[in-house]
Amino acid sequence: DTEVTQTPKHLVMGMTNKKSLKCEQHMGHRAMYWYKQKAKKPPELMFVYSYEKLSINESVPSRFSPECPNSSLLNLHLHALQPEDSALYLCASSPYIRLNTGELFFGEGSRLTVL
């Protein structure tokens, strides 16, 4: 079983809705990531948090708003999404603070459908 827990596993939302994806890890990792994955494609990096501070924002549209309330939690707030935002959203954490150097531990993802 993964030690990175994501909720909800499935989410269907309309374009005017506001929803949030949640990610939790208790491995003491201080680097946390959001990835987006479309079907039959590799994961695409969205955001990276290091010590609860946003380190990387991969030019993601503002309708995606990340939040890291503490070292164990990572949220992704969604507002006014488009149908093309439908994808699998993966959270990951890493024990390596020097970004890039270590392996990532992924959750099972939240499968988002935007109608």
Integer Cα distance of 52 and 76 in angstroms: 14
Q: Which of 29, 18, 23 is nearest to 8 (CA)?
A: 23
CA dihedral 87, 88, 94, 100 (to 10 degrees): -40
Q: Does position 68 bind other proteins by CB under 8 A?
A: no
Q: Does position 100 bind other proteins by CB under 8 A?
A: yes
Integer Cα distance of 55 and 50 in angstroms: 6
Residue from 28, 42, 69, 83 binding other proteins (CB under 8 A)? 42
Q: Does position 52 bind other proteins by CB under 8 A?
A: no
Q: Does position 66 bind other proteins by CB under 8 A?
A: no
- In the complex with other proteins, which residue's Cβ is closer, 1 or 16? 1
In the complex, which residues of this chain contact other proteins (CB under 8 A)? 2, 40-43, 45, 48, 55-56, 58, 88, 90, 92, 98-109, 111
